[in-house]
Structure 1
Amino acid sequence: MSAQRVLVTGASGFVGRAVVAALAARGHAVFAGSRGGADVAGAPGVPLDVTVPDEVTRAVLRVQPDAVVHLVGIIEARGNQTFERVHVEGTRNVLAALPDGTRFLHMSALGARVSSASAYSSSKARAEGLVRASGLPFTIFRPSLIFGPGDDFFGRVLRELVLAAPVVPVIGRGDFPFRPVSVRDVALAFVNALERAHTATRTFELTGPQEYTFEALLQLELQALGRRKPLVHVPLGLMNLAVPLMQVLPRPPITRDQYAMLTEGNTAPNEPARTDLALPMDRLEDALPGIVRR
């Protein structure tokens, strides 16, 4: 497939930087959209706040993209940056600005469903609905926990959880299942889907080569940090009381929404994405030491 002009929203983020670099390596003309408008991995920056319709329109007119990779997302709602405003309204604004026929590759999340107890997952599901109704040739990706240098979950949330106290708290029985996927696999999924026309109007769940329980992830995190601590199981009833109280802290160790997502689990088979998108399937164990020691 010939090189395309690709506008990446959320280009300055953890996944965005990897996607921009992967697209550029394949020879595509990449434009890095972000609120700050900074260049990313050599790609020219474009000011782009997806919550401001006029700014979205200006960015699209400037770039005139053949394809858009829509990655904008938040993990925590802060101030007016709510899940509804960023995930749902932001997606609506981008879709409305695009001409018919624009290829649209959309970042959703594994477990996205309107009925989810997590506002993050619920908003992701509603954004998916907008994408499917857009009439554009879309591909939707639903990644599990994404690991890699600079990630938020393994590099901060889980790291702080295992280092904060003499013991490591395990939520409930610790048997919630997860299947983390590497940021390299995620970036390649977007690039390969863009270059393969048969992936249009399809949804891919992006997961890694191995499934873990939450307790197993804690053990891996300790091992990667070179620490040994006892794990203490905290009953769900007690966690249900403690998590809301943590929200009074300036930076709570876990938000209500993160807690809801953890207790729901996050897993799915890695097929057909692994085969259809030719993903290498990086292993968490290989990457984790470099992630937690950064």
Structure 2
Amino acid sequence: MRVLLVGGSGYVGSHLARFLLSQGHQVTVASRRGEGPVAGVRYVVADAARGEGLDEATAGQEALIYLVGIIRERGDQTFREAHVEGVRHSLRAAQRAGLRRFVHMSALGASRGTGIRYFETKAEGEELVQSSGLDWTILRPSLIFGQGDEFFGKILRGLVAAPLPFIPLIGDGGFVFRPIWVGDVAAAFAQALERPSTLYRSYNLVGPKEYTLRELLLLVRDALGSKKPLLSIPLALMDRLVPLISPLPFSPITLDQYRQLKRGNTADPTYMRQAFSLEERPLEVELPHLLGVRRRAGA
């Protein structure tokens, strides 16, 4: 199948492109720079948020997978541009090209009324897909872990490695997450293309095990060989502090990210397992690799 990945030059897109190539698909990636790291992929220049270059990119394609997503707004890269306008322009380009199959990467927790702009704009993007008249599937991954990821490889690692005598913990760290391996995410997208049973359906993509935020920090700490204790920062203090530091360019967390953390991110995997055949690789297997540390003998 000839597959176009819009926004496919980043972390998830690069993993997905490699997986699709391994399954015999022809892969084109459309991004603002028109370049990427995967050999065998055709890279083209397009800006989904502005609707530029999409007609050329969709020509001759059989399926479009929309992957554009940001977790933090910077400059002209806003949640609305990435999660709503980019979807709108991509749907219209697909319709003009006569391209029917559209797979959309949303996010676990996307819904209206949350007060979290990331989730609100993801939900608005889903609504556009569902009303498009195309043959759509929506996939909502939880936290995605793997080589090159943002949350484990940068955010949690940064908290552990910060030049402090302790590791800061938000409240008691009891917020629950169910992270999923990037290889399983790639497999789910590929299988969605191949399985008619996934048409006009939305799926939550989650891993095999739930963890609290405290447990995730301890896993990262132990993998990095640190012995620093965790220090709980009361939620009442965080609720006052985060809005003050969030607008600063060097802030380690935005208000939107803080609200997401307090909600947790988990779901029942039953429906996902009925639709897809996934390895469900656990976090503990990949964590040393994505953190760039070697396993100790006998570990």
- Is the shorter-chain TM-score for this pair beyond 0.5, marking a shared fold? yes
Indicate which of 105, 116, 126 corresponds to 1:118.
116
For residues 63-212 of structure 1, what are the structure 2 equivalents within 5 Å? 64-99=60-95, 100=98, 102-164=100-162, 165-212=164-211
- Whether the aligned pair in 2 keeps the contact of 1:101 and 1:137 (CA below 8 Å) is no
1:162 CA drift (Å): 1.7
The residue correspondences of 1:228-267 to structure 2 (distance < 5 A) are 228-247=227-246, 249-267=248-266
3-state SS of the aligned residue for 1:105?
Answer: strand
2:18 paired residue number: 21
What amino acid is aligned across from residue 93 of structure 2 in structure 1? Answer: A
Offset at residue 75 of structure 1 (A) = 1.1
Q: Give the Cα–Cα distance (whole angstroms) in 2 for the partners of residues 79 and 250 of structure 1.
A: 11
Moved more, 227-236 or 246-255: 246-255
State the shift of 1:252 in Å. Answer: 1.6
Tell me, in whole angstroms, the C-alpha distance in 1 between the residues paired with 2:116 and 2:80: 12
Aligned partner of 2:241: which letter?
A
2-structure distance, mates of 1:149, 1:252: 24
Root-mean-square deviation (CA, aligned residues, Å) is 1.3
The whole-number CA distance in structure 2 between the counterparts of 1:131 and 1:217 is 34
Offset at residue 276 of structure 1 (A): 1.9
Report the Cα distance in structure 2 between the residues aligned to 1:101 and 1:80, rounded to whole angstroms: 29
Q: CA deviation at 1:272?
A: 2.1
Q: 1:31 aligns with which of 23, 28, 31?
A: 28
State the identity as a percent: 47
- Matching residue of 2:290: 291
The Cα offsets for residues 97-119 of structure 1, whole Å up to 9 and x where unpaired, read as 11355100100000001112321
**Cα distance in structure 2, aligned partners of 1:84 and 1:109:** 14
What is the letter of the counterpart of residue 287 of structure 1? Answer: E
Deviation at 1:246, TM superposition (A): 2.5
TM-aligned CA distance change 1:248 to 1:116, over 3 Å: closer
Q: Are the counterparts in 1 of residues 4 and 30 from structure 2 also a CA contact under 8 Å?
A: yes
- Are 1:179 and 1:268, in contact at CA under 8 Å, matched by a contact in 2? yes
Q: Which moved more, 1:18-27 or 1:163-172?
A: 163-172
Query: Distance in 2 between the 1:251 and 1:95 partners?
Result: 35
Counterpart in the other structure of 2:296:
none
Q: Which amino acid aligns with 1:96?
A: R
**What secondary structure does 2:119 align onto?**
helix
Q: Is the 8 A contact 1:274 1:280 kept in 2?
A: no
- Specify every segment of 5 or more residues in structure 2 that has no aligned partner in the other structure, as ranges: 294-299
Unaligned stretches of 5+ residues in structure 1: none
Paired letter, 1:266: N
Deviation at 1:81, TM superposition (A): 1.1
Matched length: 289
TM-score, normalised on structure 2? 0.93
Cα distance in structure 1, aligned partners of 2:56 and 2:132: 20
